[in-house]
Amino acid sequence: MGLFKSLFQTKKGKLKARKYQLGLQKTAASNENLRALFTWPIIDTFYEELEEALILSDTGLNTALSLSEALQKAVKKAKVNSEETLKETFVDLMRSRYITPSENPGASLEVHFIMGVNGVGKTTTIGKLAHRYKEAGHSVMVIAGDTFRAGATEQLKIWAERTGCEFYAKAEGADPSSVVFEGLQKAQENGIEKVLIDTAGRLHNKQNLMQELDKMVRVVRRFEPSAPHQRWLVLDATTGQNGMAQATVFHEVADLNGIVLTKLDGSAKGGIVFSIFDAFAIPIRYVGLGEALEDLESFDMDSYLAGWLGETF
Ligand SMILES: Nc1nc2c(ncn2[C@@H]2O[C@H](COP(=O)(O)OP(=O)(O)OP(=O)(O)O)[C@@H](O)[C@H]2O)c(=O)[nH]1
Ligand SMILES: [Mg+2]
């Protein structure tokens, strides 16, 4: 853990880093080939094998090639003369390349619009976020914008009850945009600080889904021109590079300003984090590291790198 020592210096940092480590255990194990490449002197095929290992870790081709090229340059520039300095150069490169900008300061009524294809973890993420915001002392309302799937409203209501936040919904099949508009009015009347809008992951077809999202975003803007402040896409990390295609489509409709990467505790390879940064420059805001209420952590690249590369790097 030499390279990530600084993470463990404060109690809070240590706790966070440990959560990442635990959650990313499987991911780190699947990166064994990548880790094993870092020896000194480097083998002749080091960069080719690095590219392969990165692709296997789900970074996609472009990110793998560009990281490998950047490392070659950095190794030439830095005085690399040992396994330790080689690893250090790689971690420094990753740190400086993937910097997460801080979240824009929220409005007094901050609207979060949570999107994603079906089953990625939108509703669960909303429950976890509501919990975090409540714990931080905010008043929170969740709005059931998924009126399409049977049981979706009930599922969100359960999260609302568990977290003790306000809940707004209409009957199944109601127009989601009207639910959102009325929910926002209610939130304003009640002086709510954070509103989390759940949306459908599946409608009759994909075009339908996008049209509906577009309409909802416009309705939110009509309510408050600066909203929705947070337009976040939820991606299931285990689907790997498929997530890139999803990000492209949702970005077009909603001008995303954040990503929540869920199920990182599963068999995800984890390289998608880097390809998202490279391709879209959309910051990852939170990561899901389990199914429980507490298993959502704000994204921290250093903790992530430490978890991704594993304890022995
Ligand atoms: N292991 C793990 N499971 C998760 C995580 N986030 C969500 N899940 C699980 O993923 C499944 C789907 O979660 P939902 O929150 O219902 O997903 P959704 O995107 O709202 O699904 P639809 O409403 O059907 O579109 C549930 O079984 C969750 O417990 C995570 O970070 N880790
Ligand atoms: Mg849902």
Question: 266 in ligand 1 pocket by Cβ < 6 Å?
Answer: yes
> How far is it, in rounded angstroms, from Cα 229 to Cα 226?
6
Tens of pLDDT, residue by residue over 206-252, are: 889 999 999 999 999 999 999 999 999 999 999 988 999 999 999 99
Do 34 and 116 belong to one domain? no
Do 85 and 211 belong to one domain? no
Q: What is the DSSP letter of 237?
A: G
Q: 45 lies in a domain?
A: yes
Task: Please give the residue range of the domain that contains residue 202.
Answer: 110-301
pLDDT beyond 80 at 104 = no
Question: 25 in ligand 1 pocket by Cβ < 6 Å?
Answer: no
Pocket test for ligand 1, best of 124, 147, 196, 238 (most atoms within 8 A of CB): 124
Question: 239 in ligand 1 pocket by Cβ < 6 Å?
Answer: no
Question: 116 in ligand 1 pocket by Cβ < 6 Å?
Answer: yes
Q: 170 lies in a domain?
A: yes
Asked whether 186 and 168 are in contact (CB, 8 A), the reply is yes
Do 70 and 152 belong to one domain? no
SS (H, E, C) 27-93: HHHHCHHHHHCCCCCCCCCHHHHHHHHHHHCCCHHHHHHHHHHHHHHHHHHCCCCCHHHHHHHHHHH
Do 67 and 120 belong to one domain? no
Q: 105 lies in a domain?
A: no
pLDDT beyond 80 at 311 = no
Do 37 and 119 belong to one domain? no
Question: 120 in ligand 1 pocket by Cβ < 6 Å?
Answer: yes
> Nearest bound ligand to CA 122?
1
> How far is it, in rounded angstroms, from Cα 260 to Cα 121?
9
**Domain-terminating residue out of 62, 97, 132:** 97
CATH of the domain at 295: 3.40.50.300
State how beta strands 194-198 and 230-236 pair: unpaired
Do 171 and 270 belong to one domain? yes
pLDDT beyond 60 at 91 = yes
Pocket test for ligand 1, best of 154, 291, 298 (most atoms within 8 A of CB): 291
Q: 10 Å Cβ neighbour count for 225?
A: 7
Closest CA to 306 of 12, 28, 75: 28
> How far is it, in rounded angstroms, from Cα 37 to Cα 64?
15
pLDDT beyond 70 at 105 = no
Residue 9 pLDDT grade (very low, low, confident, very high; cuts 50, 70, 90):
confident
Number of domains in the chain: 2
Q: 10 Å Cβ neighbour count for 24?
A: 25
CATH of the domain at 67: 1.20.120.140
Tens of pLDDT, residue by residue over 10-56, are: 998 899 999 999 999 999 999 999 999 999 999 999 999 999 999 99
Question: 26 in ligand 1 pocket by Cβ < 6 Å?
Answer: no
**Domain-terminating residue out of 65, 97, 129:** 97
Q: 313 lies in a domain?
A: no
Q: 180 lies in a domain?
A: yes
Closest CA to 250 of 114, 103, 146, 128: 114
Q: 104 lies in a domain?
A: no
- For ligand 1, the distance from its centroid to the CA atom of residue 129, given in whole angstroms, is 13
pLDDT beyond 80 at 142 = yes
Do 92 and 118 belong to one domain? no
Per-chain mean pLDDT for the chain: 93
Do 76 and 125 belong to one domain? no
For residues 242-270, give the mean pLDDT: 94
Do 82 and 115 belong to one domain? no
How confident is the model at residue 184, as a pLDDT? 98
How confident is the model at residue 312, as a pLDDT? 73
Least confident of 101-110, 114-123, 176-185, 265-274: 101-110
Q: 10 Å Cβ neighbour count for 309?
A: 23
Its pTM stands at 0.94
Do 17 and 90 belong to one domain? yes
pLDDT beyond 70 at 194 = yes
